[in-house]
Every structure is written in structure tokens, then in C-alpha cells.
Amino acid sequence: MRAHDGPSWTPPDRPLDPARPAQPAQVRRILRLFRPYRARLAVVGLLVGASSLVSVASPFMLREILDTAIPQGRTGLLSLLALGMIVAAVTTSVFGVLQTLISTTVGQRVMHDLRTGVYAQLQRMPLAFFTRTRTGEVQSRIANDIGGMQATVTSTATSLVSNLTAVVATVVAMLALDWRLTVVSLVLLPVFVWISRRVGRERKAITTQRQKQMAAMAATVTESLSVSGILLGRTMGRADSLTRSFADESERLVDLEVRSSMAGRWRMAVIGIVMAAMPAFLYWAAGLALQSGGSTISIGTLVAFVSLQQGLFRPAVSLLSTGVQIQTSLALFQRIFEYLDLRVEITEPEDPVRLAEVAGEVRFEKVGFRYDARSGPTLDGIGITVPAGGSLAVVGPTGSGKSTLSYLVPRLYDVTEGRVTLDGVDVRDLDFDTLARAVGVVSQETYLFHASVADNLRFAKPDATDAEIETAARAAQIHDHIASLPDGYDTLVGERGYRFSGGEKQRLAIARTILRDPPVLILDEATSALDTRTEHAVQQAIDALSAGRTTITIAHRLSTVRDADQIVVLDGGRIAERGTHEELVERNGRYAALVRRDARLAPLVS
């Protein structure tokens, strides 16, 4: 067992500072992502080291060709050295291909781990998180942010190691040839490093802004190009306005993309020009020294040194660019870690209770709930017992806490005071599988996947047979309609089920729950959005579903709750009345007033 904490989710208090240099702890955390793949990375390291050693051997062979083989006319040595240079080039290329294959595989596995880690983390977040976060923002974190890290994760890390190894090996080789020329070649390197760090911080800050803008644009697309968004935009005559709004979002992204691409571009270009000019400078200086007789350096050594120098500049520039790219990617890592660090408040206990059989008794014992510490109580002092197989109806005005009360049973929220029990066990002490098997929810917001009817029903029971699916559909009184469709149970329901009417979608949801066969059923205003005729058909399906189950009905229309064993009237998060339909009507209190209101509205919704 464990101590029970409050349920509310609150966003992080302190936003991340994109311009702040990366902390060592953050870098270590990124490196830990690669820990499961250490063996493969060790192989990459060996390939990188071998490739660097082979590549620096070529200039030395070139020196011997120019200083010994050609002047002395040693054809055999010339052929051997030329062949050696060819073998070195082939070996380096083969090692490079193998290195790319392994590092890309490791990088993609790390990307996979990040994607699934974030997705699993979001699956554990409370409902409050999703009510406060735009869907497009969540999608952008998984798609755009993790996708934006792909180059860093798959190639930059390996590029960093290979280029660093190449630089070290090349500098050692240059020192072996001529230490004075080496010092001249490296004198500007600290300035280049300082410039690249400045550029990296600039791009990191811009990248953070860019990703936020991409998330905002993704949210706009998700909301406005869904079926509901298209219907709303066109029927309200706002299609052009939405297009202009999206164009404004896109224009802001264009500006950020250009700024990101150009940040420090001129400074990096100067570095490239200086490095490209160094060989010419060395040829010029060495030529003057040779002409004046002030140098003993050989032509072969000079050419070999310049070859090494050019071989040094490529990985050196790449290292500087890699540093910039890493700084840019750190902004993306920060956004991903922000999600991974969200506190999971609805957790499974370390030693959960597993119920082999669930009778279905539900109790609310002095239950209190508030969405966050700054808000008032949504529920206060609720005490209700629903016997196994019994029925409870919860009614009341909008905002009285009806739906919140029902969501406490399947732990979509956790209580802040008191407890909710299932067969005498606190639901917070049950394992998630037991709770999922025990409690089924049919809500007003019916969600159907863009898949076939059969696949939507099988979501409740993946191993369900065709016969079981048909039986559930018949019980929900939707089989005849499905059978009349050209593709029957293989019919694609469309995005969010828009090929089906509201009543048909509700009956599909009921069939899905029948297939799940839970002993406890939550009906959250399942018929409130339907006309009277459709409500009657759906209510018949609900009656079939409710038979023999503990049923908690959240009702807007009181015609659906008259036969409940007990009715509770909520007002301001407290129980105002309770009793049967007849008892409450006779008292002529709040419930009776709701019944009279229902009677006046009934002709309007029929």
C-alpha cells in the first residue's frame, strides 16, 4: 500500500531558459540514452580510431613518394606507396560505411526509445493534463521535436567522436612532420571555438522559439482541419479567416527558420575562408623560406603537411558545426525532457491488490475533490453506497460535479479527500488491469477510430471472435444497421466516426462496452445530445448493457433515471437530496424542480 496524494496536474512553474548553457546533468542525461547500446558504440569507436589512423598514413606515404621514390627513381617503392594510398582510401571508405550503418541503427533505436517513452508517459498523465494542453502541442512534441533531433541522435554523436579522433590523430601526425608549422596552423583555433559556442547559443534560443511556433501551428492544423473544425469553419463562413490566421502562423515560422539558418552564418563563413587560405599561406611562407635558404623543410614534407592540414580543417570545421548543432538540439531535448519529467500522479501501488472476481459494490466515503490547490472544492463530503448490481443516478445543474464524481471510480482523477472503494478495496490500491476490467465507461463524447467497425469494437477485446462481436452489436441494437452497410463490419467508420449518426455512434460505444463485459458501468450523459426518438433506441441498448451490472448514471435528462434504485442530486459539489424518483418528487425539492424543467423542455428536443 502507499500514501495517497492529490490528483491535480499543474504545469511546470519555471519555464526553461533556451539561452542558458547546457548543464552537465542534462548532458549526462542525454548520454544515458545511449547506455543500452554501449557494445555497438564501442565497435563504432574502434572503426573510428582505425579509420583515423589509416587516413593520416596517406600523407606520410605521399611524402616518401615526393622525397624518395620519384627523385631516386625507385619504381618498386613508388608502386608500393601508390598501392598503399589506394588501400588506405578503400579501407577508410569501408570503415565509414560500417560506422554509418551501426551509428544510424543506434540513433534510430534511441529515437524509438524517446518516442515510446514520451507516449507511455503521456498515457499515464491525468485527465487534467489533456484538458489543459492543446492536442497539436502534444503531437508536435512527439513528431516535430523528436524528429528534429534525428540528425543529432543518428549522426552528430558519431560525427563528434570521429571528427575529434581525426583531429587528434592529424595534429599528432602534423607535429611529427614539423612542430613549427603545426603551431602556426593552430594559433587561431581558440578564436574559432569561441565563435562557434556563441553561434550555438544563438541557434539554441531560436530553435526553442521555432519549436514552440511549430507546436502552435500543428495545434491550429489539428483543430481547424478535423471534421468538426471543417464543419465549424465552413458553416460560420470563417474558412478565409482561418486560412489567413494559418498563413500568419506560417509566416512567423518562416522568419524563425531563416533566423535559425543564418544565425552566425557570416562568422562561420569567415572561419571557413581562413581555414581555406591557410594552405596558400603555408606554401607562400615555406616557398620564401626555401628561396632564401632559411628552411630545411623538404617539398615532400611541405606537401604532406598541407595535405594533413587540409585533412585537419575538414573535421575541425565539422567539429565546430557539430557543436552548434548540439546546442540547437539541446533545445529540443529540453522540450522532450519537460514531458518526461512531468509528475505522474495517478500511479499503480508497489504492491497492488488484484481481484480475481469483482462483485461490483462501489462506495464513496467522505469524498472531496478539487482540480488544483488554487481552486475551490468541486466535490465535498460525498458519501454514497451502490450495492453490487444496484443502480445510482446522479443529477444536478451544470457544474455541480456529476461527471467528476463518476470519473473517480476508474481513476481518471484521484480524490483529494476520503476514498472510493470497489468491493471494499480503495481503487487507488487496485492494479490497473483489475480496475480496467472492472469499470466500463460510456460517455457523451463517443470516440471511434478511423478504422473498420469490427476493429473499433475489438479495441475493447482484441481476441474477440466475429460471433462475439455480432452478439454485442445485437445487444446494442446496432447489428441490423451494420449488416445493411455494403461492407458490413468491415465498413470504415471515418474520422471520429463521422459516417455514423450520434445515436449509431453511441450504440457502437455500448456494443464495445458489452464486449468488454465490466461488472461496473459508468454512463456519463450518454444520451443527452440525442433527440427523443434516438434516445429511446439508445436507452434500450443501455438497458441491455446495464442488466446485472452496478450502474452509475450521470443524467441530464431525467427520463433516463426514473427506475434507478437511488437518485442523488448534487448542487455545488454537495449532496442536496437523495432517494428514489417517487420519494424525491413527493418532497417537491430540487429534484422535483428538475423534473418540471424536463417536462417543459421535452417537446423542444423531440
> Per residue in 270-304, pLDDT tens?
777 777 777 777 777 777 777 776 566 777 878 88
Q: What is the pLDDT of residue 11?
A: 44
Return d(Cα 46, Cα 401) in angstroms, integer: 63
Residues 4-28 as b or e (16 or more Cβ within 10 Å = b):
bebbbbeeeeeeeebeeebeeeeee
> Mean pLDDT, to the nearest integer, of 41-56?
85
Question: Which has more pLDDT, 160 or 252?
Answer: 252
Residue 604 has pLDDT above 50, yes or no: no
3-state helix, strand, coil in the chain (%, to 5): 65, 10, 25
Return d(Cα 467, Cα 419) in angstroms, integer: 40
For 10-26, the pLDDT digits (tens) are: 444 444 444 454 567 77
Other C-beta atoms closer than 10 Å to the C-beta of 317 total 18
Q: What is the pLDDT of residue 107?
A: 83
CATH of 364-605 among 2.30.40.10, 2.40.110.10, 3.40.50.300, 3.30.2230.10: 3.40.50.300
Confidence of residue 233 (pLDDT cuts 50, 70, 90): low
Residues 309 and 182: beta-carbon distance below 8 Å: no
In this structure, of 217-231, 511-525, 560-574, the range with the lowest mean pLDDT score is 217-231
The phi-psi region of residue 557 (left if phi > 0; otherwise alpha if psi is between -120 and 50; otherwise beta) is beta
In sequence order, which residues have a C-beta less than 8 Å from that of residue 301 and are 6 or more positions away?
63, 67, 177, 178
Closest CA to 6 of 353, 340, 371, 338: 371
Record the cell numbers describing residue 444, joined without a space: 457523451
Q: What is the pLDDT of residue 9?
A: 44
Which burial class, exposed, middle or buried, applies to 381 when counting CB atoms under 10 A from its CB (0-12, 13-18, 19+)? middle
> Mean pLDDT, to the nearest integer, of 517-545?
74
Residue 198 has pLDDT above 60, yes or no: yes
Residue 188 has pLDDT above 60, yes or no: yes
Confidence of residue 227 (pLDDT cuts 50, 70, 90): low
Closest CA to 371 of 363, 361, 379: 379
> Mean pLDDT, to the nearest integer, of 44-55?
85
Confidence of residue 3 (pLDDT cuts 50, 70, 90): very low
Residues 377 and 573: beta-carbon distance below 8 Å: yes
Residue 8 has pLDDT above 50, yes or no: no
Return d(Cα 66, Cα 55) in angstroms, integer: 18
Closest CA to 89 of 129, 128, 56, 123: 56
- Phi, then psi, of 74 in degrees rounded to 5: -90, 90
Return d(Cα 76, Cα 310) in angstroms, integer: 28
514 alpha carbon, distance to own chain's centre:
32
Return d(Cα 25, Cα 31) in angstroms, integer: 10
Closest CA to 12 of 138, 136, 129: 129
Residue 529 has pLDDT above 60, yes or no: no
What is the architecture, at CATH level 2, of domain 24-340?
Answer: Up-down Bundle (1.20)
Closest CA to 308 of 147, 182, 406, 418: 182
Residues 514 and 545: beta-carbon distance below 8 Å: yes
Q: What is the pLDDT of residue 335?
A: 82
The phi-psi region of residue 566 (left if phi > 0; otherwise alpha if psi is between -120 and 50; otherwise beta) is beta
pLDDT > 90 in the chain, percent: 18
pLDDT averaged over every residue in the chain: 80
Residues 446 and 511: beta-carbon distance below 8 Å: no
For 115-136, the pLDDT digits (tens) are: 888 888 888 887 778 777 777 7
Of the spans 136-145, 444-453, 511-520, which averages the highest pLDDT?
511-520
3-state secondary structure of 504: helix
Per-domain residue ranges of the chain: 24-340, 364-605
Q: What is the pLDDT of residue 386?
A: 94
Question: Which has more pLDDT, 601 or 80?
Answer: 80
For 321-355, the pLDDT digits (tens) are: 666 667 667 777 888 888 888 888 888 888 899 99
Confidence of residue 157 (pLDDT cuts 50, 70, 90): low
Record the cell numbers describing residue 525, joined without a space: 450523459
Of the spans 12-21, 195-204, 239-248, which averages the highest pLDDT?
239-248
Question: Residue 94: which H helix or E strand, with range?
Answer: helix 75-123
Residue 601 has pLDDT above 90, yes or no: no
Residue 2 has pLDDT above 80, yes or no: no
CA distances from 75 to 62, 84, 85, 300 (A): 14, 14, 15, 17
Which burial class, exposed, middle or buried, applies to 180 when counting CB atoms under 10 A from its CB (0-12, 13-18, 19+)? exposed
Residues 319 and 399: beta-carbon distance below 8 Å: no
Question: Which has more pLDDT, 1 or 220?
Answer: 220
Q: What is the pLDDT of residue 381?
A: 92
> Mean pLDDT, to the nearest integer, of 377-403?
90
Grid look-up 439508445 returns: 538
In sequence order, which residues have a C-beta less than 8 Å from that of residue 140 and are 6 or more positions away?
211, 214, 215, 218, 219
Residues 592 and 562: beta-carbon distance below 8 Å: no
> Mean pLDDT, to the nearest integer, of 178-188?
76
Residue 568 has pLDDT above 90, yes or no: yes
Question: Residue 234: which H helix or E strand, with range?
Answer: helix 227-235
Return d(Cα 354, Cα 342) in angstroms, integer: 27
